[in-house]
């Protein structure tokens, strides 16, 4: 996805994967800086650890409490900090700037892949783990009017509901299924990853005919039992591939300072994930 995006932008950069153990993360970031990398993406478990390892946190990383993108920067002749590729001279001092592109990607995937405006939306959210928390906070921030949180371990949903209510008093947050229809149902549990998994939804308590659109954060398999049932019920559906795409596209924009070639990146990602 990233290399296809770089090629489409005409940039002679390469995106490469490195396997780094958590105890070496600080050294790995320092090494990338010494080699004048443009930037880095970080994945689990590095996203939380990196919060204390970057020189500067963007508001996105601060709010979500995790860093998934780093940009290396240095000062230009006027003293303004710039991405390294914009500097003509070799920099004396390089700083690390941490961002988070995951949360925005959730909102964008729902908006664009499901064609659903989030402002005013009533939402049922399944799952209150790491992904569920990020989704709940983003949905509240983006103007969802009602959030109904459902989780196997009810106490975690209750804790999350409290946190959302404190940060976004304007949102009506409840634990459990609503009695009325909603615009959106989001699955942020891991149910559906393995074949034979049960539905993450109790469809006697809350039937899918009560929902317009269903977003499943899982993208492999491409169609989980939940998405299949929702499609058969006539709901608009999308899987989690869009989240992967949009977090990557946003990271590329942070590094390159230009709009990401979304269609090219999506095609490469689909080929990589679902192709032969
Ligand atoms: P992630 O970072 O992907 O969110 P996580 O924090 O481990 O991972 O959260 C996994 C989510 O899937 C949780 O909401 C979890 O419910 P619990 O909080 O009760 O553990 C949910 N989950 C996992 N396996 C499940 C199962 N068999 N039935 C119902 N929910 C399940």
Model-level pTM?
A: 0.92
Flag whether pLDDT at 57 surpasses 80.
yes
Is residue 154 within 6 Å of ligand 1 at its C-beta?
A: no
Residue 158 C-alpha to ligand 1 middle, in angstroms? 15
Q: Please name which of 105, 101, 103, 79 lies closest in space to residue 91, comparing C-alpha atoms.
A: 79
Task: Work out the average pLDDT over 34-58.
Answer: 96
Atom number in ligand 1 closest to CA 217: 3
Domains and CATH numbers, the chain: 2-100+248-274 (3.40.50.10860), 103-239 (3.40.50.720)
Burial of 99 (0-12, 13-18, 19+ CB in 10 A): buried
Q: Please name which of 264, 244, 241 lies closest in space to residue 9, comparing C-alpha atoms.
A: 264
Is residue 208 within 6 Å of ligand 1 at its C-beta?
A: no
Is residue 41 within 6 Å of ligand 1 at its C-beta?
A: no
For residues 54 and 37, the answer to whether their CB atoms sit within 8 Å is: no
Q: Per-residue pLDDT tens for 155-175?
A: 999 999 999 999 999 999 999
Residue 190 C-alpha to ligand 1 middle, in angstroms? 6
Residue-wise DSSP of the chain: -HHHHHHHTT-----------GGGHHHHHHHHHHTT-SEEE--TTHHHHGGGTSSEE-HHHHHHT---EEEEEEE-TTS-EEEGGG-SSPPS--EEEEE--HHHHHHHHHHHHS----TT-EEEEE--SHHHHHHHHHHHHTT-SEEEEE-SSHHHHHHHHHHHHHH-TTSEEEES--SS-EEEEEE-SSTTSSTTPPPSS-TTTS-GGGEEEEEES--SSSS-HHHHHHHHTT-EEE-THHHHHHHHHHHHHHHHSS---HHHHHHHHHHHHH--
For residues 81 and 73, the answer to whether their CB atoms sit within 8 Å is: yes
Q: Per-residue pLDDT tens for 113-149?
A: 999 999 999 999 999 988 899 899 999 999 999 999 9
Beta-carbon contacts of 131 under 8 Å, excluding residues fewer than 6 positions away, are 188, 217
Residue 10 C-alpha to ligand 1 middle, in angstroms? 41
Please pick, among 33, 36, 47, 92, the residue that the annotation labels catalytic: 47
Model pLDDT, residue 90: 87
Ligand 1, from 151, 190, 224: best to mutate by most atoms within 8 Å of Cβ? Answer: 190
Q: Per-residue pLDDT tens for 217-273?
A: 999 999 999 999 999 999 999 999 999 999 999 999 999 999 999 999 999 999 999
Flag whether pLDDT at 276 surpasses 80.
no
**Residue 47 known to be catalytic:** yes
Rounded-to-integer distance, Cα 158 and Cα 153, Å: 9
Rounded-to-integer distance, Cα 58 and Cα 63, Å: 9
Q: Which two tokens stand for residue 96?
A: 């690390």
Confidence of residue 89 (pLDDT cuts 50, 70, 90): confident
- Nearest alpha carbon, ligand 1 atom 14: 127
Which residue's structure tokens are 């946003």? Answer: 250
């Amino acid at each position: 996805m990233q290399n296809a995006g770089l090629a489409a932008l005409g940039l002679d950069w390469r995106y490469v994967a490195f396997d780094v153990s958590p105890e070496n993360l600080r050294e790995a970031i320092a090494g990338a800086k010494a080699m004048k990398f443009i930037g880095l993406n970080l994945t689990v478990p590095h996203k939380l650890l990196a919060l204390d390892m970057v020189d500067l946190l963007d508001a996105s990383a601060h709010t979500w409490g995790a860093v998934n993108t780093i940009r290396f920067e240095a000062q230009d002749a006027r003293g303004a900090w710039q991405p390294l590729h914009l500097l003509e001279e070799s920099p004396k001092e390089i700083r690390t700037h941490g961002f988070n592109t995951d949360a925005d990607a959730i909102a964008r995937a729902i908006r664009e892949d499901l064609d659903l405006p989030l402002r005013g939306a009533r939402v049922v959210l399944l799952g209150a783990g790491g992904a569920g928390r990020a989704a709940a906070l983003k949905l509240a921030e983006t103007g969802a009017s009602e959030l109904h949180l459902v989780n196997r371990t009810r106490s975690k949903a209750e804790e999350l509901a409290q946190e959302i209510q404190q940060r976004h008093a304007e949102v009506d947050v409840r634990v459990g299924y609503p009695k009325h229809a909603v615009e959106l149902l989001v699955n942020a549990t891991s149910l559906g990853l393995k074949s034979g998994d049960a539905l993450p939804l109790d469809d006697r308590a809350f039937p899918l005919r009560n929902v317009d659109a269903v977003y499943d954060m899982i993208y492999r398999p491409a169609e989980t039992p939940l998405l299949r049932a929702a499609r058969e019920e006539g709901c608009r559906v999308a899987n989690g591939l869009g989240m992967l795409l949009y977090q990557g596209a946003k990271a590329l924009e942070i590094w390159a300072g230009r709009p990401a070639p979304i269609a090219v990146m999506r095609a490469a990602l689909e080929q990589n994930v679902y192709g032969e």
